[in-house]
Amino acid sequence: MSEPNYTILLADPDPRARALLAQHLASAGTVVLQAEDGASAFKIVNERDVRLVVTELYLKTGEDDDLIHAIRRTKALRKTRALAHTIYGTSVDRDWAMRAGADGYLIKPTRPERLRYVVSRLASNGVPSNLPATSDTPVSRRDSLSNALADLEQGDLKGTSSIVFGRTWWQQLTPPQQSIYRKRAKRLGVSLRSDSMLGDHFVEVRGPSRADQGLSTERPESPYRR
């Protein structure tokens, strides 16, 4: 009997939703773990070799932190992918998920074949994936500001209007280093913005959109908060 391809974790407060997801994904040759809240999910992902976390939005970890954001802030979990699979389908919810560090975003209910495709793509790929999402703001991911600017300089990422990166990482740079990045961005005609909701090693490249003007780090009220 062959070994499973990878381990995924399903984090959802609804036991019926978890059971259905596990049933859909069982045929993908994976080990499927389950957690009912953010705190237990974060404990599992720190103890087990989890390739991908499929989670509902706004699950707290017990440290006043959303599960996806907590994963992104943990250096030991840099290779762990996170898929927001959620009942929340507004552009605000989607923007929150992506700014917290999600690699993909799907709105429930999702066709089983679509879910299996996205899970397989994220779990088998070592870099963040540019998956279709429900927003008019094109977003792609890069693992560093240098790589994002280099892609722009080479003619890729056309239509980019801004690059958003982790505020903690930016504050650790010296003023001369920050100046170099600003000059490169100005030459390319893009704006640079830091955001406390993005992990140190995660960068968002955004295209022009009406929604870009209204981005906020304030997350919507979660029905699972206590």
CA distance 149 to 194: 15
Domain count, the chain: 2
Q: Which helix (H) or strand (E) holds 37?
A: none
| CA 61-64-65 angle, 5° bins | 60
- If asked whether residues 90 and 143 sit together in one domain, one would say no
> Considering the chain, what percentage of its residues have pLDDT values greater than 70?
74
174, pLDDT greater than 90: yes
What pLDDT, on a 0 to 100 scale, did the predictor assign at position 224?
A: 32
Residue linked to tokens 């295209």: 207
Would you say residue 223 lies in a domain? Answer: no
Same domain, 67 and 148: no
Q: What is the pLDDT of residue 157?
A: 73
Give yes or no for a contact between 41 and 67, defined as CB atoms under 8 angstroms apart.
yes
Which domain, by its residues, includes 170?
A: 139-208
Q: Determine the pLDDT at residue 206.
A: 62
Amino acid at 166: G
Given a cut of 50, whether residue 70 has pLDDT beyond it is: yes
- Model confidence at 172: pLDDT above 80: yes
Residue at a domain's end among 124, 153, 175: 124
pLDDT(12) > 50: yes
Residue type, 96: W
Beta-sheet pairing, 162-166 with 203-206: antiparallel
